[in-house]
């Protein structure tokens, strides 16, 4: 059994075996050969963007622009690009990266083919809709959207403008997760009875104290469509802090562990159940009595719970499928089956073989070239984030909710449907 990998380790592992067919474009050397290059811009240049920028530059993409409200992080991205491409150039310098404080200016550039969106969740909807309208393909970090209404707008814009979109739920490009889901889909553990998803809990209100705004940060720009509140470094920490910022804990900006890790593991649950484009029909919050954990019910009778750890296993951040004839447990770097012999099972030629992507980032680049849907298309990401978000709404309202995954709304429930959207702070709107 392998060790559980963190985000950084998982990214390195996903890249380790990849062979990228794209070379550094000839335009780096002064020529103009658009047929040989994918030109990319970065919307958001924080910790996650740093990893993605390095990955895409290593794949031969030409990163020519970045946008951020944090001048220090934006300057780091510019230096990374300059250093990388300078090593490819005879003269030893490259000054082809332009920095922006407003993402709409970056999207106005005709030479940019695709953008990477690595902003906090509350910006994903606006960034994506504007990018699609500008004719850009999009790699957007998970979770897909801050709320259900903005997720709908993202799907609509990507389809209307015929853009390629990859959601950053990268576990679909890992062989362990694909293999686990194929075991489930092909009936090797019998009819599925129950699924346990182990992720963190819901987001909370933000009551952080006010701190002085740093001079390198446009705080109003960071908040964007979210309500005005004083700056606190926990939401947007200085570049010297190497952890992931905690904005994801708070309702105005993220969905807590439910969307942060749920966008990975509810995603695998949906994939294993064959529920892309669909979802549960009811969600029931824990009541401290009979219902011990957040519980989802599917129309076919399968139930799914969100728990802090697997009963009897204690693994963190993963998925456990329970069938009539066995079980499959999978998380990063770990796969266990009951019976144990299933780990060596080979799918037959007439069985279900799921989309195989060996590298999530390369899969996006391939889709940009071929115009085919990548493994985690916008509608896949939307189905997954809806599972996360309706769970958060059930936690907030503290009562069972009936959900219609086809109409993407709660059944006859004005209060719950109101929580599917938010009022954006002026002047922002989709």
CATH of the domain at 151: 3.40.50.720
Report pLDDT digits (tens) over 252-276.
999 999 999 999 999 999 999 999 9
Residue spans of beta strands (DSSP E) within 223-348: 282-284, 294-297, 303-307, 318-323, 327-331, 334-338
Same domain, 111 and 139: yes
Last residue of a domain, one of 170, 186, 220: 170
Residues present in the chain in total? 430
Residue 334 belongs to some domain of the structure = yes
What's the CA gap between 335 and 99, in Å, rounded?
43
Same domain, 158 and 302: no
Task: Return the structure tokens found at 153.
Answer: 């707008």
Contacts of 30 (CB under 8 A, 6+ apart): none
Residues 374 and 386: beta-carbon distance below 8 Å: no
State residue 189's pLDDT score: 99
Task: Return the structure tokens found at 185.
Answer: 């889909």
> What is the DSSP code (8-state) at residue 359?
-
Same domain, 388 and 285: yes
Same domain, 165 and 197: no
Task: Return the structure tokens found at 43.
Answer: 């919307």
What's the CA gap between 375 and 358, in Å, rounded?
10
Residue 6 belongs to some domain of the structure = no
Residue 93 belongs to some domain of the structure = yes
What's the CA gap between 6 and 287, in Å, rounded?
32
Same domain, 149 and 182: no
Task: Return the structure tokens found at 110.
Answer: 């005709």
Residue 100 belongs to some domain of the structure = yes
Same domain, 307 and 384: yes
Residue 429 belongs to some domain of the structure = no
What's the CA gap between 340 and 427, in Å, rounded?
57
Bin 52: left if φ > 0, else alpha if -120 < ψ < 50, else beta. Answer: alpha
Same domain, 182 and 317: yes
Domain count, the chain: 2
Residue 336 structural domain: 171-203+254-420
Residue 246 belongs to some domain of the structure = no
Q: How many beta carbons lie within 10 A of that of residue 204, not counting itself?
A: 12
Last residue of a domain, one of 129, 154, 170: 170
As a whole number of Å, the CA-based R_g of the chain is 22
Residue 289 belongs to some domain of the structure = yes
Same domain, 97 and 176: no
Residues 400 and 282: beta-carbon distance below 8 Å: yes
Same domain, 296 and 382: yes
CATH of the domain at 305: 3.30.360.10
Same domain, 192 and 135: no
Report the half-sphere exposure of 396 (CA within 13 A, side-chain side).
21
Q: What is the pLDDT along the chain (430 residues), one digit of tens a residue?
A: 333 334 444 444 444 333 333 333 433 433 333 357 899 999 999 999 999 999 999 999 999 999 999 999 999 999 999 999 999 887 788 999 999 999 999 999 999 999 999 999 999 999 999 999 999 999 999 999 999 999 999 999 999 999 999 999 999 999 999 999 999 999 999 999 999 999 999 999 999 999 999 999 999 999 999 999 999 999 999 999 988 999 999 999 999 999 999 999 999 999 999 999 999 999 999 998 889 999 999 999 999 999 876 555 556 789 999 999 999 999 998 999 999 999 999 989 999 999 999 999 999 999 999 999 999 999 999 999 999 999 999 999 999 999 999 999 999 999 999 999 999 999 999 9
If residue 197 lies in a helix (H) or strand (E), which one and from where to where? strand 192-198
Same domain, 80 and 197: no
Same domain, 324 and 399: yes
What's the CA gap between 307 and 206, in Å, rounded?
24
Task: Return the structure tokens found at 275.
Answer: 């529920």
What's the CA gap between 421 and 416, in Å, rounded?
10
Residue 238 belongs to some domain of the structure = no
Beta bridge partners of 296: 283, 304
pTM exceeds 0.75 = yes
Residues 103 and 87: beta-carbon distance below 8 Å: no
């Amino acid at each position: 059994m392998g060790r559980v990998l963190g985000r950084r380790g998982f990214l390195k592992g996903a890249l380790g075996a990849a062979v990228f067919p794209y070379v550094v474009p000839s335009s780096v050397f002064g020529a103009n050969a658009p047929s040989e290059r994918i030109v990319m811009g970065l919307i958001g240049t924080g910790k996650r963007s740093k990893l993605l920028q390095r990955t895409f530059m290593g794949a031969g993409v030409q990163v020519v622009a970045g946008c951020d409200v944090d001048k220090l992080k934006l300057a780091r991205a510019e230096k990374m690009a300059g250093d990388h491409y300078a090593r490819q150039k005879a003269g030893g310098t490259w000054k082809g990266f332009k920095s922006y404080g407003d993402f709409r200016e970056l999207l106005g550039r005709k030479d940019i083919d695709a953008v990477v969106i690595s902003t906090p969740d509350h910006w994903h909807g606006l960034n994506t809709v504007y990018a699609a309208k500008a004719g850009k393909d999009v790699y957007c970090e998970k979770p897909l959207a801050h709320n259900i209404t903005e997720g709908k707008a993202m799907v609509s814009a990507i389809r209307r403008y015929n853009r390629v979109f990859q959601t950053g739920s990268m576990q679909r490009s890992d062989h362990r997760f694909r293999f686990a889901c194929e075991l489930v889909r092909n009936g090797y553990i019998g009819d599925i009875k129950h699924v346990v998803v182990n992720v963190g809990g819901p987001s909370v209100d933000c009551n952080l104290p006010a701190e002085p705004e740093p001079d390198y940060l446009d705080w109003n720009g960071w908040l964007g469509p979210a309500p005005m509140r004083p700056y606190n470094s926990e939401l947007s920490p200085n570049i010297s802090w190497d952890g992931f910022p905690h904005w994801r804990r708070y309702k105005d900006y993220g969905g807590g562990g439910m969307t942060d890790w749920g966008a990975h593991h509810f995603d695998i649950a949906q994939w294993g159940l064959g529920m892309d484009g669909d979802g549960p029909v009811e969600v029931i919050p824990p009541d401290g009595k009979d219902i011990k954990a957040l519980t989802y019910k599917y129309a076919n009778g399968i139930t799914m719970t969100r728990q802090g750890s697997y009963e009897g296993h204690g693994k963190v951040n993963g998925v456990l499928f329970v069938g009539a004839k066995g079980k499959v447990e999978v998380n990063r770097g770990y796969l266990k089956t009951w019976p144990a012999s299933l780990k060596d099972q080979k799918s037959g030629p007439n069985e279900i073989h799921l989309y195989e992507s060996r590298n999530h980032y390369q899969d996006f680049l391939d889709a940009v070239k071929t115009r085919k849907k990548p493994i985690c298309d916008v509608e896949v990401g939307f189905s997954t984030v809806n599972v996360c978000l309706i769970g958060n709404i059930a936690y907030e309202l503290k009562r069972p909710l009936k959900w219609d995954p086809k109409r993407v709304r709660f059944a006859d429930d004005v209060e719950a449907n109101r929580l599917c959207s938010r009022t954006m702070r002026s002047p922002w709107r989709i």
